[in-house]
Every structure is written in C-alpha cells, then in structure tokens.
Amino acid sequence: MSQLLALPPPAPRLQMELPAVSFFGRSFEEYTRFFALDPAALRRTAVLDVAAGPSSFTAEAVRRGIDAVAVDPLYGRPAGSLAAQVRADYHRMFAQMRAKPRLFRLRSFPSLAAAEADRRLAARRFLADYDGNDRHGRYVRAGLPVLPFLDQGFSLVLCAHLLFIYAARFDYAWHLAACRELVRVSTGEVRIHPVCGAGGRPYAELGRLRADLAADGVRSEVVAVDYEFFAGSNSMLVLRRDRNLRRAGAA
C-alpha cells in the first residue's frame, strides 16, 4: 500500500494541465481493471478501442484471441513518428505526475515509478505491433465524432481517457455526438472511462448528457470499478442501446 492512499482529496484548483490530447497509453491489464473486463469472455468477440493511442490493449487482446481493432487520429503515421510522439508526450505527462502526486491514488501500482514503467512497456508493445499491422486493418486512422464503421459492427466499444478528461477542449455538443457515434457502432455495450475531468471531479454536464442520450433511446449507468489511478477515476459510464433505439436526430 502506498502512503499516497492516506492523502486528502486534491485541492480544488489542482489539476493536470492538458493543452493538447496526449498520445499516452496503458496496458491490456490496466484496461481490464478500469473497464471491469473478463478477457476469457471476450474471446472471438469484436471489440473496438476508440482513442486507443499507444495503448497495448489491441496488440495484447489479439494475442488472447479477441477480435480487437484500435482507432486513433494519429494512426497512419510511420512508426518512427509515433515513437517520437510517445517520447515527447510521456516525458511531459510523467513530469506532471511527479510534480502533482496528490492527483493520484496508487491502488493499482505500488508507486508512480511503477506506473511509468508499465505505461512505457505498453507503448513499446504497441509500437512493435503497429509497425507490422497498420496496413492490415488493426489500427485505423479516425477521430470522434465520426467513425468509419458500419452500424453495430462491434459487440463492445471502449473509449478511455478522452471524453470528460479533455472537457476544456471538447464542448458539450462534441461529447453528445461522440457518445451517439460510439453507440451507433456497437451492438451491445459502450464503456467510457473515466467519468471525471482533469481535476478529478465528475463531468459537470453528466446529467444533461445522460438525459439527452435517454431521449435517443440509450440507457446509461455509472458503474464503480475496482481501480483508481487518477483521483476520481474509479468508475465508468456504460451505454446500452435500447432495442427500439432511435437514430440521433430522428423525430
């Protein structure tokens, strides 16, 4: 257990500075915790990871027999260019983490150094897989709120560390359109993590977002998960299409 667990909540104004969306990624193991996934149950299942960045989720999922596809606007660049982006963004993010330890709860890692080593390993695994697979459909260049997939193409759609965290950059209309698009490409469930902003407090427009989605025929639920790294990141938002889902914008 880390002594950071005993610290009080972050001061109201303390938050991560996120001037641009970071090309920063986590491992399959970390995804299973913050999305409460059962890897064995996902074998032969079509899973889409949106805003996947240099996460190793897809590389590791495919090795486990999961039919995973990753989407990010930076895909399509040469591996060397993405490796340079990883170097710059990881340097900036870990410098901030070390400077603002009160923003973190070490439930999943014994120390910030251990978290850093794990995320660097995830990026190396991603880069090794990307180098051989970007031309074979596993890594797709696209960005919310428009995904280049048919309706209901994936059983499970995941999106981590983009919605809500970057609320200063993406407005409410973008968040609603992004959620509708994630639901559109899913037959079953969409899971979004975390449900808090850069300061660890819940997304301010969450009630409005859930009401607008409900009006479209999308059920939503905030589900606690056995994980917290960024303070306040101990839940996910689950979206499920109702059988009688209305198309967004339809009367």
Residues that bind ligand SAM (CB under 6 A): 21-26, 50-53, 55, 72-74, 143-144, 160-162
Work out how close the CB of 249 gets to ligand SAM at its nearest, in angstroms, rounded to a whole number: 20
- The total of other beta-carbon atoms located within 10 Å of residue 89's CB is 19
Give the C-alpha separation, 49 to 140, whole Å: 10
- C-alpha closest to that of 67 among 51, 49, 50, 43: 43
Work out how close the CB of 105 gets to ligand SAM at its nearest, in angstroms, rounded to a whole number: 17
Work out how close the CB of 18 gets to ligand SAM at its nearest, in angstroms, rounded to a whole number: 9
- By C-beta, is 51 or 106 nearer to ligand SAM? 51
Q: Please report, for residues 15, 20, 166, the alpha-carbon distance to residue 11 in angstroms, rounded to integers and kept in the order given.
A: 9, 23, 19
Going along 73-211, which residue ranges are E strands?
A: 139-141, 154-160, 186-193
- C-alpha closest to that of 25 among 59, 61, 63, 52: 52
Give the C-alpha separation, 185 to 123, whole Å: 26
- By C-beta, is 78 or 207 nearer to ligand SAM? 78
- C-alpha closest to that of 227 among 36, 28, 6: 36
What are the beta bridge partners of residue 46? Answer: 67
Work out how close the CB of 123 gets to ligand SAM at its nearest, in angstroms, rounded to a whole number: 9
- C-alpha closest to that of 125 among 39, 230, 29: 29
> Nearest residue to ligand SAM, using CB?
53
**DSSP of 101-112:** GGGB--SSSSSH
- By C-beta, is 27 or 220 nearer to ligand SAM? 27
- The total of other beta-carbon atoms located within 10 Å of residue 189's CB is 16
- By C-beta, is 46 or 90 nearer to ligand SAM? 90
Give the C-alpha separation, 251 to 186, whole Å: 21
- By C-beta, is 77 or 201 nearer to ligand SAM? 77
Work out how close the CB of 213 gets to ligand SAM at its nearest, in angstroms, rounded to a whole number: 18
Work out how close the CB of 144 gets to ligand SAM at its nearest, in angstroms, rounded to a whole number: 4
- By C-beta, is 22 or 235 nearer to ligand SAM? 22
- By C-beta, is 172 or 217 nearer to ligand SAM? 172
Work out how close the CB of 8 gets to ligand SAM at its nearest, in angstroms, rounded to a whole number: 26
